[in-house]
Amino acid sequence: MGSSGNGFIKKAMVIGGGIAGITASIDIGNAGYNVLLVEKLPSIGGRMLQLSETFPTLDCAQCTLTPKTVETGQHPRIQLHTYSEVVRVEGQAGNFIVQIRKKASYVDWEKCTGCGLCQQKCPSKYPSEFDRGMGLGKAIYTLSPQAVPNKPVINTSHCRYFLEKKCRVCEKICPVGAINYQQEDRIIEEKVGAIIVATGFDLMPIERFGEYGYGEIPDVIDGLSFERLNSASGPTNGEIRRPSDGKVPKEVVFIQCTGSRDPERYMPYCSRVCCMYTAKHARLYKHKVHEGQVYIFYMDIRSTGKGYEEFIQQTMEEGILYLRGRVSRIFRDGEKIAVWGVDTLTGKKVEVLADLVVLATAIIPHQEVKALAQILGIPIDLYGFLTEADRKLKPVETNREGIYLAGCVQGPKDIADTVAHANAAASKVQSLFARYS
């Protein structure tokens, strides 16, 4: 469906290709409307692509997500604009004029067959952002072996040709001549009738937590880094090995509410998923390192989803030690990490000599959301999340007709709530389009 007779354009744009954006796009596409899905990374999948398993069922995240990304990539009504960003939005509901910057990938995706030869032969290696700096990536890369679209891009910050005018190995090796070092960013213009913002979340940078030993102790990591250690496609092929020396940690300390529920120093809000993913991490660790010991420092447990409280109880039954209290000090002690805290239930001090410390850091909006909110003309709250029109009655609508929110861009959510939120946003778009049939 295109525009109706009265000039109302029945085409939607979804900004963000994580599980929220994918869900909304498939819903709208299945309803018979065309969708532009704009994603800033080279492929879709978002944060869920970095996870190992998901709570409370411990399903493989990629097994759940990959069919969705493939369906999105092959959907006749969904047009992917990956490695792209929205730079301008004008107009109103039914007739938004949108400018999208398609970033130069330096690879002609029309010619590229996704064979992967260029990535195998590329000599430039650097810490992979996708693997949270624990694995090595190449200067020409795809985010994962299951990437949709499965087309590589060149990171000019690490490519020898762009840095030194040397190398050109990928150009020589490419069997179809798809490498194009002269490619430039280009702006395209589209017209859409509705917009869904689904740009997801980021984690508060671990660099902000100097008091937890970050910067001094390499074996203090965040929860997403632990996901990559757990993942079969991660830097250790799913083995739990600490970053500093590759040893299997025998004692692991998890610290919840790092940056959340801390109005004096960080964020006052609850990040909602940390209690659950910490329990998941503890169980997955115990399944792989049977003789290992886990300590979880927590303020209180928030397990409000379906099957969540049962999951926490099962975790406690697996011999994982929950300590109610804050950590007062973390410092290096030889090869170990000394963690000093207190168990407020017994009133006793706790001292653990750990091999690995995992921080459940706060969920925050992406840095670019503020600029995107200005482009869209919609407000953000005190912490940078996009603001819905009414917290109770209009949870996916904004104060601008035709622009809707989906997922963690509006506030922290788990996967189930994110998908439900995306379903709701997609139904609002369909409802808007149906009014002008």
Distances (CA, A) of 337 to 222, 242, 245: 15, 12, 14
Q: Which two tokens stand for residue 376?
A: 């869209």
Residue 191: its pLDDT value, please? Answer: 98
Residue 3: its pLDDT value, please? Answer: 56
3-state SS assignment for residue 45: coil
Mean pLDDT of 191-217: 94
What does the alpha-carbon distance between residue 400 and residue 417 come to, in Å, rounded to a whole number? 23
Task: Work out how many domains the chain is built from and give that number.
Answer: 3
Does residue 290 share a domain with residue 380?
Answer: no
Question: Residue 1 above 90 pLDDT?
Answer: no
pLDDT band of residue 216 (cuts 50, 70, 90) is: confident
Considering the domain boundaries, does residue 222 fall inside one? yes
Higher pLDDT, 215 or 202: 202
Does residue 82 share a domain with residue 22?
Answer: yes
Cβ-defined contacts of 261-270 (< 8 Å, 24+): 261/299, 266/204, 266/208, 266/362, 267/204, 267/362, 267/364, 267/383, 269/383, 269/411, 269/412, 270/302, 270/412
Residue 158: its pLDDT value, please? Answer: 96
Residue 114: its pLDDT value, please? Answer: 94
**Model confidence, pTM:** 0.96
Considering the domain boundaries, does residue 378 fall inside one? yes
Does residue 210 share a domain with residue 356?
Answer: yes
Question: Residue 145 above 90 pLDDT?
Answer: no
What does the alpha-carbon distance between residue 326 and residue 101 come to, in Å, rounded to a whole number? 46
**CB contact at 8 A, 384 and 357:** no
Question: Residue 109 above 70 pLDDT?
Answer: yes
Burial of residue 162 (number of CB atoms within 10 Å: 0-12, 13-18, 19+)? middle
For 131, residues 6+ apart whose C-beta sits below 8 A from its C-beta are 137, 228, 234, 235
Considering the domain boundaries, does residue 71 fall inside one? yes
Considering the domain boundaries, does residue 77 fall inside one? yes
Mean pLDDT of 15-26: 98
* pLDDT tens, residue by residue, 298-357: 999 999 999 999 999 999 999 999 999 989 999 999 999 999 999 999 999 999 999 999
* pLDDT tens, residue by residue, 287-314: 999 999 999 999 999 999 999 999 999 9
Question: Residue 437 above 80 pLDDT?
Answer: no
Does residue 76 share a domain with residue 16?
Answer: yes
pLDDT band of residue 6 (cuts 50, 70, 90) is: low
Does residue 241 share a domain with residue 342?
Answer: yes
**CB contact at 8 A, 109 and 115:** no
Of 358, 333, 256, 268, give the one whose Cα is nearest residue 302: 256
Does residue 226 share a domain with residue 334?
Answer: yes
Question: Residue 4 above 70 pLDDT?
Answer: no
User: What is residue 161's DSSP assignment?
Assistant: H
Domain range for 71: 11-102+185-201+365-434
Residue 119: its pLDDT value, please? Answer: 96
* pLDDT tens, residue by residue, 226-251: 999 999 999 999 999 999 999 999 99
pLDDT band of residue 286 (cuts 50, 70, 90) is: very high
Considering the domain boundaries, does residue 180 fall inside one? no
Residue 146: its pLDDT value, please? Answer: 86
Residue 214: its pLDDT value, please? Answer: 84
Does residue 193 share a domain with residue 130?
Answer: no
**CB contact at 8 A, 199 and 193:** no
Does residue 194 share a domain with residue 315?
Answer: no
pLDDT band of residue 2 (cuts 50, 70, 90) is: low
Question: Residue 5 above 60 pLDDT?
Answer: no
CA–chain centroid gap for 268, Å, is: 22
**Which CATH number fits the domain that encloses residue 62?**
3.50.50.60
Considering the domain boundaries, does residue 164 fall inside one? yes
Mean pLDDT of 79-96: 98
Mean pLDDT of 170-191: 97
% of the chain residues with pLDDT over 70: 98
> What is the average pLDDT score of the chain?
96
* pLDDT tens, residue by residue, 372-389: 999 999 999 999 999 999
Does residue 255 share a domain with residue 137?
Answer: no
Does residue 331 share a domain with residue 418?
Answer: no
**Cis preceding-peptide flag for 67 (omega within 30 of 0):** no
Does residue 261 share a domain with residue 245?
Answer: yes
